[in-house]
Chain A
């Protein structure tokens, strides 16, 4: 097309959570192609299958284009809608929400799914005054975040990761393909080309594990046992990095061993020691092995004893934390773990030796002088080149928190934290253990017409930080930060609908869902959740009275809305990947990024950001309102430029080009031209720390002072690794009645006491305890394929050709024994439900596990696919087999099917049995639902042929 007008704009991808820099080429205003931005620090020019299919998302027939209201007189779920104007939409919302805010703000619940702007949605919820806010972290990987942050002050993915550039061996445990995506693929390619050794420990060999040098199949949910056995072997052979443990972890700190004392299991505090930070006192003791006496920790010239049992001058019996770890793993022999994991003991020993010898004998010494927090100057930065990565494979189990804590401890034993070749932090982490945000402490934090008295999501440090009432009962609808799962830092979105439906702890009025497919793949127990969404009270009103769904596309969930808000696509809006939230930082310094509109919004689509700003203005939420009561921000771009975390703080949503002239980084006055400056730089801002600040950042004086000044941390006290967690012990003491302050309900005391173990331990998944494992012997897993982002891409004409429907992958021998044919129809049944699906024999899955791709199966007619599309007829959803709650307890109440510490959804705990479908059964997946029809404003789907050629304006 020689006469076509062409144009190129940079922005940030949103085809998944990765957030690569992209260059969007337009021809006559249509998207010609989208390529990776070679100048972008995250993806350096590469782009994945999803990113390369953005065109088909932009022009998808599943796009919603008009605000819609459930047709008067129609039943919820019947998918009958009528168009209304935005003005009417805002009037409805303003009236309803201002009433709730003035009466009982917690009756409004805002839960967001694949939300990349939690800094804004969280601020809105907090300003509204509702505690009932969270994004999807609770059903994604909160165990990974919490397990690592409560141990080393940082975690995998956005906040840190494996330094594959310098690592020699790399262990990837469980499925982790989607976090990170492109950067990890690129790093793996370079790592292998450089001769690195890659070991995949996973029940399934697919994805990244395919290119591993060694695949070690493991039974799901047993990773904790494996890691503890490795820790034992490392300790047994003396392969730990003693210098690192002694100085940078709490291994040498003395723990009170007086069982009669209420301080049992807590670190001893030295009244004469330096408290450093009164909010988090650091006045610990070491037992100095050189003088054989207790001394303040980090006393110059002292060296802590790691093993042994001592008496303090006052007679208090104490042990160093590392002694307690040693005692804990004493029985965790490789033979013990072999029974549990299915990995033979010799292999367990071998990989432990591999890790230990590599860490010890292939040390990296970078000639970078730095000074630690205690003032000791170091001539070099040392690295032990053993790297790990894990995400949901470890996280999505009810024992995931302790498993991940075990992993973080193993990484610490090997001396790999924030060092070259090991694990490296990314800003804003490392942060204090735990970070400083706290939820409100009780129901008094929720008041009419008042912002919430704390952060909706945060990091409890002690039982007194829990968000419970005087009886110890939850204040949040999802029961986050209650005794049922105290450290639920990301909330429990997976229980919101069930709890609201049951009115436990209370009924709500309005549920606003953003970008979350809660009537399908984002819910456990999908069939019953769909019933709850339409269930009514005796008076004929819905149990959840008003449901608002904001999404760019028609999904299974939009059918259950009373009001649909049509969102824009990522190519049509302003957005930011904020340092206040989840930025895209690199190991060597903070990076944040923006999206800018590169095409105009379709129809009446409005970015959810603008909806939030508009509503906040109408509701006169304080942060969005001037002192005179007028609306403060013209819209989202204006908000991003001018909002400051506190008046004059100089910290806002974007860290780059601050200051009136745009010449300040991290902190500075608002800059009216900030968006333009981001755009000019390819829509990202990158800050390079000096080499002396790039490593050892838990204890690096120069970095810590800078981070405090830059507002990344409130304090600058050292972040000593918690090999032993006295924070967990605090909760255990409360459960044992040995701690003043908030007390758990009696029925939860044993649960708390068991799981809040200050030392890592492995226990079977909770669901195993009340499942007949003879009847349901197999584990069932899902994982996300690299070419699809959850439910989002079946509407995408190109991507759906890669994954049109899903099979159940079964080890060939297991399938044969069950009498199921390769390609044949089969049933998978748990004690909660059953699905009919097609079987695919596989030699790449361990015999006790069956698995499938997540969210390929769709409800008939959803996403504007025809009702006979393969996704709904052959594709299936495993979620029907997974319960959001465990079996009822003696008192009839049910716990969430989650980690008892963090509330992480235990997707991967489900147990199933499999058997062939009988002859004569329909060759169709089960369950089926009545087909959905398109709603007003959706364009006609193209039938037959489609030939996309940008610029001809034919296919639209």
Chain B
């Protein structure tokens, strides 16, 4: 069975918010739209975004990590937002695992957002319905689009390529390979929601310098002489 999902690479996300607004522009005029904005030009503007980036610091100076953390619906395999819905508006598609809301059935009771441990549902105060990431369901199956463009808007936009999209149940998909090979992890596994979306952790590339690599037999000091009254160090060749 297919389970579509995003895999987000925290190792290269620079926090640029491309995914945030490109999600919004696609979806506001799409099947899930409009994504309303409250007070667009006044104090305390606050609108619907299916995808947001939180930035936080970890550690203390100077050992600080600044983490940019994009968050949207994780399309859980066992989504707690679905059983709590009194009208059946919140549902998970059997065909591809996308969790969606049927606006026609939604009564805006917000049970689903209380049940969601990740805080990724977005209540539309104007229409009084719950909204959320649809994985751009209105474009990923659109055969009028070239195949390469049948992806969520956030994935296509992402400049550093920090967002992967695919079927996490297909072991050969780009997302499964990334999760497997790069220690992809799910958020808050203790809730047993089995999020389909995964995150790839930071990984550090270091540099090791060995003393005997500093000088090579062809060191230009052999031609130019050593500056700053340094003695020419012995080369490996000479040491041997």
A residues sitting closer than 8 Å to B (CB atoms) are 27, 32-36, 38, 43, 45-53, 55, 61, 169, 181-182, 185-186, 188-190, 192-193, 195-198, 205-211, 213-215, 217, 232, 235-240, 242, 289, 305-307, 326, 330, 350, 353-354, 357-358, 360-361, 786-787, 795, 797-802, 804, 811-813, 842-847, 864-866, 868-870, 873, 941-951
Contact partner of B157 (CB less than 8 A), chosen from A52, A188, A795, A864, is A52
Q: How far is the CA of A869 from the CA of B40 in the complex (A)?
A: 10
In addition to A361-B213, A797-B47, 12 A-B residue pairs with Cβ atoms within 8 Å of each other are: A35-B156, A47-B22, A49-B17, A55-B25, A207-B14, A209-B66, A210-B65, A217-B62, A289-B223, A812-B61, A870-B44, A947-B33
**A239 to B38, alpha carbons, bound, how many Å?**
60
Pair A189/B161 contact, Cβ less than 8 Å: yes
Contact of B206 among A197, A802, A842 (CB under 8 A): A197
List of A residues within 8 angstroms of B22 by Cβ: 35, 47, 49, 52
Docked-complex contact B29 and A188, CB < 8 angstroms: no
Whether A947 contacts B34 in the complex (CB less than 8 A), given A46-B18, A205-B64, A869-B41, comes out as yes
- CB distance A210 to B62 under 8 Å? no
B36 vs chain A, min Cβ distance (A): 4
Of B28, B204, B209, B230, chain A has the most CB atoms within 10 Å of the CB of B28
Check if B21 sits within 8 Å of A185, measured CB to CB: no
Are the C-beta atoms of A49 and B41 separated by less than 8 Å?
no
Contact of B21 among A195, A209, A787, A864 (CB under 8 A): A787
B160 touches A189 (CB 8 A): yes
B189 within 8 A of A: no
Q: Which residues from chain B contact A189 at a C-beta distance below 8 Å?
A: 9, 12, 159-162
Q: With A190-B161, A357-B213 given, is the CB distance from A846 to B61 under 8 Å?
A: yes
Q: What A residues does B209 contact at CB under 8 A?
A: 350, 353-354, 357
With the chains together, A51 CA to B21 CA distance in Å? 9
* A-side contacts of B202, CB under 8 Å: 211
28 sampled A-B residue pairs with Cβ under 8 A:
A35-B153, A35-B157, A38-B149, A48-B17, A49-B20, A193-B161, A197-B206, A210-B14, A210-B15, A210-B55, A215-B62, A217-B61, A217-B62, A237-B215, A237-B219, A330-B228, A786-B17, A797-B47, A798-B24, A798-B37, A812-B61, A843-B57, A843-B60, A866-B43, A868-B42, A869-B43, A943-B39, A943-B41
Given known contacts A33-B25, A207-B14, A238-B215, A197 and B207 CB-to-CB distance under 8 angstroms: yes
Bound Cα distance A813, B60 (Å): 10
| A843–B16 touching, CB < 8 Å | no
Determine if A307 and B227 form an interchain contact, defined as CB atoms under 8 angstroms apart.
Answer: yes
Determine the distance from Cα of A798 to Cα of B25 in the docked complex, in whole angstroms: 9
Contact B206 A193 (CB under 8 A): no
B-chain residues with CB within 8 Å of residue A804 when the two chains form the complex: 44-45
Q: Output the nearest chain B residue to A800 by Cβ-Cβ distance.
A: B45
Partner of B160, one of A47, A50, A188, A941: A188
Residue pair B219, A846 in contact (C-beta under 8 Å): no
Q: Which residues of chain B come closer than 8 Å to A181, judged between CB atoms?
A: 159
- Counting from the closest, the 4 A-B pairs by CB-CB distance are A189-B160, A185-B159, A797-B40, A52-B22
Q: Which residue of B lies closest to A951 (CB)?
A: B29
How many angstroms between the C-alpha atoms of A924 and B110 in the bound complex? 35
Contacts of A357 in B (CB 8 A): 209, 213-214
Q: Which of B44, B126, B220, B230 has a CB less than 8 Å from the CB of A240?
A: B220
A795 vs B45: C-alpha distance in the bound complex, in angstroms?
12
State the total of A-B contacts with C-beta under 8 angstroms: 254
How many angstroms between the C-alpha atoms of A801 and B38 in the bound complex? 10
Question: How far apart sit A46 and B162, CA to CA, in the bound complex (Å)?
Answer: 11
Taking CB atoms, residues of chain B closer than 8 Å to A217 are 61-62
A389 to chain B, nearest CB (A): 14
The answer to whether B160 and A185 have CB atoms under 8 Å apart is yes
Contacts of B207 in A (CB 8 A): 169, 197, 354, 358
Total count of chain B residues near the partner, CB < 8 A: 76
Contact assessment for B40 and A813 in the assembled complex, using a CB-CB cutoff below 8 Å: no
Q: Is B137 an interface residue (CB 8 A)?
A: no
CB distance from B52 to the nearest CB of A (A): 9
Instruction: Select which of B13, B45, B125, B227 is within 8 A of A211 by beta carbon.
Output: B13
Which of A27, A47, A197, A842 meets B29, CB within 8 Å?
Answer: A27
Chain B residue contacts of A811, Cβ below 8 A: 61
Q: Is the CB of A847 within 8 A of B221?
A: no
Residue of A nearest to B211 (CB): A353
Provide the bound-state CA to CA distance between A47 and B20, in Å: 11
Query: Do B47 and A786 touch across chains, with their CB atoms under 8 A apart?
Result: no
B119 interface contact, C-beta 8 A: no
A571 to chain B, nearest CB (A): 14
The interface residues of chain B lying within 8 Å CB-to-CB of A845 are 61
CB distance from B184 to the nearest CB of A (A): 14
Interface string of B205-240 (1 = CB under 8 A from A): 111010001111001110111111010000000000
The answer to whether A188 and B12 have CB atoms under 8 Å apart is yes
Instruction: Encode contact with A along B182-215: 1 for CB under 8 Å, 0 otherwise.
Output: 0000000000000000000010111101000111
CA distance A207 to B20 in the complex (A): 16
51-105 of chain B: CB within 8 A of chain A:
55, 57, 59-62, 64-68
Name the residue of chain A whose CB is nearest to the CB of B205: A197
CA distance A865 to B43 in the complex (A): 8
B173 at the binding interface (Cβ < 8 Å): no
- The answer to whether B1 has its CB under 8 Å from any CB of chain A is no
Q: Which of B12, B65, B157, B224 contacts A306 (CB 8 A)?
A: B224
Given A207-B15, A357-B213, A946-B37, residue A36 in contact with residue B25 (CB < 8 A)? no
Contacts of A45 in B (CB 8 A): 156
A802, closest chain B residue (CB): B17
Q: In the complex the two chains form, is B11's CB within 8 Å of A211's CB?
A: yes
Nearest B-chain residue to A48, judged by Cβ: B18
A786–B15 CB distance below 8 A: yes
Contact B24 A52 (CB under 8 A): yes
User: Any chain A CB within 8 A of the CB of B46?
Assistant: yes
In the complex, the answer to whether B41 meets A205 with C-beta atoms within 8 Å is no
Which A residues are CB-close (under 8 A) to B204? 213-214
Q: Are B26 and A864 in contact (CB under 8 A)?
A: no
Most buried by B among A232, A326, A844, A869: A844
Which residues on B sit within 8 Å (CB–CB) of A307?
Answer: 224-225, 227
